[in-house]
Structure 1
Amino acid sequence: MFELQWWPVLFILPLPFLIAWLLPPANQEQQSALYFPHVQQFTGGQAQRSQRPIAKLGLMSLAWLLLVVSAARPMWFGEPVSIPSEGRDLMLAVDLSGSMQQQDMQVNGRTVDRLDMVKSVMDDFIERRVGDRLGLILFADTAYLQTPLTFDRETVKQLLSETVIGLVGDSTAIGDSIGLAVKRFSEKERSNRVLILLTDGRNTAGNISVEQALELAIANKVTIYAIGVGAEEQIQSGLFGQRRINPSMDLDEKTLINISKSTGGAYFRARSAQELSQIYESLDILEPVEGDEQTLRPRAELFYVPLLASLFIAGLMAIWPLLLKFASMITASKGVN
């Protein structure tokens, strides 16, 4: 199907004729008073010259018509093609409390804090989410939305890599993060509503308790997959030698298990980068949500066709007198010879 995307541009077609009609006519008496020394020669070509303005006006009109049609943006649309939209809606909630700076994780043979480990593993997880919509929530004293649900995985990765511990405090507002996720999911009419919650502590702050947030999640059919981050054993050197400690003593696994089971999700324990990577692989079994079917119509821009034709006519009119003059000079030189 042929269409003009900016068809109102066609209303300027009569513009040159309107300008010519509004301008005052040329003074014919002054023109007829001009003196021509070779009257006989001029009179002989008068009939031929009188036809040139008509042909010139026709070519100029055609060039103007083609130029206006090009400005109207002609396009060719093919038959509609239906494209199903499938993917998962995943909201990632990442803990930025002070305890996430505990250096009890190993990444590529070096000791890093928990947040750096989460970033390194989640970077690959986000990269594999082709076709999924991802959102990012950061929480500590409170929770805030860093990235709404989007297909732009690179932006989510970039904003996650720029996060720092203590950005929004040192406490842990798990209830606020769940409540914010529920609010963002409720803005979408059709969604599988999956929240992946990563934390290393217990709820110690926020405006919403975990129980209230859990009720909201159940009422809005939000599935929560909770991940407890942190090693269970660490060697610590002290005044009396080395001793083994549990750096994850503050992790409230009981609450996280209850949140996951109550919403139809599951609880995972990430004691290392390898375990977290395996957890992300197991999350790939989430059922994709089939969104509204999208329709795509192949299209091709055609503005350049009338534009090139108009430029060709204008260029031909510009050089035509020179061509005629050159041809007459060749003819005259042949006559002399």
Structure 2
Amino acid sequence: MIEFAWFWVFLVLPLPWLVRRWLPAAPEPGRAALRTPFIEEFEQLPSTQGVKRVKPYGLWIALAGWLLLVGAAARPQWLGEPIEQTVSGRDLMLAVDLSGSMEIEDFFLEGRAVDRLTATQWVAGQFIERRVGDRVGLILFGEQAYLQAPLTFDRTTVHILLDEAAIGLAGDKTAIGDAIGLAAKRLRDNPAEQRVLILLSDGANTAGAVSPMQAAELAAREKLKIYTIGVGADQMVVSDLFGTRRVNPSKDLDEVTMNGIAEKTGGRYFRARDTNELEQIYALLDELEPVERAKHFYRPRTELYPWPLAASLLLASFLAVTKLRE
């Protein structure tokens, strides 16, 4: 079937008549200074055959051109048969720690030492790209929690925003509870089986208005499932005035709280000591079963306005050429 996207455009159809009816007529050209007593004889002479043939139809051609032009402006469209489209997937919210401790270089990526955030951006970015059919959102937290990207099918933009995140952007401390509370608020209106948060941190909660366990209780009431990931190596070699020594760069990681958050909400806690473990964790998270949503229907639309527009331009060109040949 054919429909007009901008049907209201047809309201301008009587515009030429209104202009002719209400605007004053153009002034007649000045009369000749020389008066000839036989001017009436010239007026009685028959017109040339060409002009006589065109003039009776000029008004109708102009009217047809105007109708075609208005019809093209109303955007006629051909609607095809309804096509069923099934959308499946989950709504996944990622919460990434940007506190100062994420700059510790205890991860290796392609043979070079990198900080924890760089490794997270690399692995989580690939995870985002693989979630075809899912809506993905991004929360960045440090001393405060910020919604960097709402839930969206535009995974490329979420990936870019994750790559642009910088350590200390949200403060040097860690507000895990605030990040969970923000995620629960943003996912509150989603179906219960689709409320999933993947929270990644390398430390303990040191800031925020809500404690992690209080936020976990709120998340549990909201049916929000949380998967927590603790990142950081168990040991690394550092140099000082007395030579080299081994230290535990993850001594501040509160695994008890991270595990408690996951258990409270029906999720699971993962420990990522290096890039390989981090990749394995995201591969495991990749196996979340998609949930089928309601079916959607759409009708393909084909724009038809070029045809009446071209016809209108042809008629206008014909009238212009005829006027020039008079």
Deviation at 1:224, TM superposition (A): 0.8
Contact 1:181 1:195 in 2 (8 A): yes
Q: 1:8 & 1:238 partners in 2: Cα distance?
A: 78
Q: 2:76 & 2:184 partners in 1: Cα distance?
A: 46
1:204-223 equivalences in 2 (<5 Å): 204-223=206-225
Instruction: Write the deviation string for residues 162-216 of structure 1: whole angstroms up to 9, x where unpaired.
Output: 2221222222111111111101101335661111110111112210012211111
Which of 137, 143, 146 is 2:145 aligned to? 143
Which SS does the other structure have where 1:285 is aligned? coil
Hey, what does 1:17 align to over in structure 2? Answer: 17
CA change 1:175–1:54 in 2 (3 A) is: same
Contact 1:185 1:191 in 2 (8 A): no
Contact 2:83 2:298 in 1 (8 A): yes
Which SS does the other structure have where 2:280 is aligned? helix
Q: Percent identity?
A: 51
1:189-228 equivalences in 2 (<5 Å): 192-228=194-230
Which of 293, 299, 308 is 2:301 aligned to? 299
Hey, what does 1:109 align to over in structure 2? Answer: 111
Corresponding letter in the other structure for 1:320: T
Hey, what does 1:258 align to over in structure 2? Answer: 260
Which SS does the other structure have where 1:86 is aligned? strand
Structure with bigger gyration radius = 1
Hey, what does 1:2 align to over in structure 2? Answer: 2
Hey, what does 1:124 align to over in structure 2? Answer: 126
Give the TM-score normalised by the residue count of structure 2. 0.90
Contact 2:101 2:202 in 1 (8 A): yes
Which SS does the other structure have where 2:172 is aligned? coil
CA change 1:96–1:40 in 2 (3 A) is: closer
Structure 2 residue runs without a partner (length 5+): none
Deviation at 1:101, TM superposition (A): 1.2
Structure 1 residue runs without a partner (length 5+): 326-337
Q: Which has the higher helix share?
A: 1
Contact 2:213 2:260 in 1 (8 A): no
Corresponding letter in the other structure for 1:161: D
Which of 75, 86, 89 is 1:87 aligned to? 89
1:268-283 equivalences in 2 (<5 Å): 268-283=270-285
Q: 1:15 & 1:211 partners in 2: Cα distance?
A: 69
CA change 1:190–1:291 in 2 (3 A) is: farther
Q: 1:269 & 1:78 partners in 2: Cα distance?
A: 52
Q: 2:119 & 2:288 partners in 1: Cα distance?
A: 23
Give the TM-score normalised by the residue count of structure 1. 0.87
Instruction: Write the deviation string for residues 86-140 of structure 1: whole angstroms up to 9, x where unpaired.
Output: 1121111111111111111111111111111111211211121222111111112
CA change 1:249–1:285 in 2 (3 A) is: same
Corresponding letter in the other structure for 2:17: F
Which SS does the other structure have where 1:17 is aligned? helix
Instruction: Write the deviation string for residues 53-91 of structure 1: whole angstroms up to 9, x where unpaired.
Output: 321111111111111111111111111112111112111
Deviation at 1:223, TM superposition (A): 0.8
Contact 2:192 2:223 in 1 (8 A): no
Q: 2:68 & 2:53 partners in 1: Cα distance?
A: 23
Q: 2:239 & 2:198 partners in 1: Cα distance?
A: 35
Hey, what does 2:182 align to over in structure 1? Answer: 180
Q: 1:131 & 1:165 partners in 2: Cα distance?
A: 30
Corresponding letter in the other structure for 2:250: S
CA change 1:47–1:140 in 2 (3 A) is: closer
Corresponding letter in the other structure for 2:253: L
Which of 76, 79, 102 is 2:78 aligned to? 76
Hey, what does 2:101 align to over in structure 1? Answer: 99
CA change 1:167–1:40 in 2 (3 A) is: closer
